Amino acid sequence: MRAFTPKLFKPRPCRAKPVDREGLEQAALMRELELCYPAVFDLIYHVPNGGHRVKAVAAKLKAQGVKAGIPDLVLSMARGGYFGLYIEFKATPPNDAAVSANQQERLRKLNDQGYLAIVCRGHFDAMEQIRAYLRLAPTVVAA
């Protein structure tokens, strides 16, 4: 008969929950806009294209018009000859992600159509770019 040798307990390493730094920074940006620029806050919105979804939900959303590469934020306020501002929002380095090929292509197409489409890295960069955009004269549409 073999002697019993107990297996030693090996604790699994604790894995920290991932932190959505981009989401936290974007929420901070929206809060600052709400407090300091209510007219801008009223006309800016987030396009929830990203994130992980169940395949059935992803297919349903794709059928409804969700497209890869659409920027995260849209400011529907015409300034400086542009029809509006699109922001691809990334977290502040070193927590930022690369701009994908789909995102680069979409930004190019939006710029070609008369929008200002840019990449911002973090809350402060985005706020600075929005302030610069707001300093531009309102776009006048000739009737």
Q: What is the pLDDT of residues 10-33, one digit of tens each?
A: 777 888 888 889 999 999 999 999
71-98: pLDDT as tens digits: 999 999 999 999 999 999 999 999 889 9
Q: How far apart are CA 59 and CA 79, in angstroms?
A: 36
Where in 6-115 does DSSP place strands (E)? 44-46, 73-75, 85-90
Which residue's structure tokens are 């396009």?
A: 47
Other beta carbons less than 10 A from residue 22's beta carbon: 20
Other beta carbons less than 10 A from residue 66's beta carbon: 16
Query: 135 or 12: which carries more pLDDT confidence?
Result: 135
Q: How far apart are CA 51 and CA 112, in angstroms?
A: 27
27-51: pLDDT as tens digits: 999 999 999 999 999 999 999 887 7
Domains of the chain listed by start with CATH number? 21-135 (3.40.1350.10)
**Max intra-chain CA distance, the chain:** 97
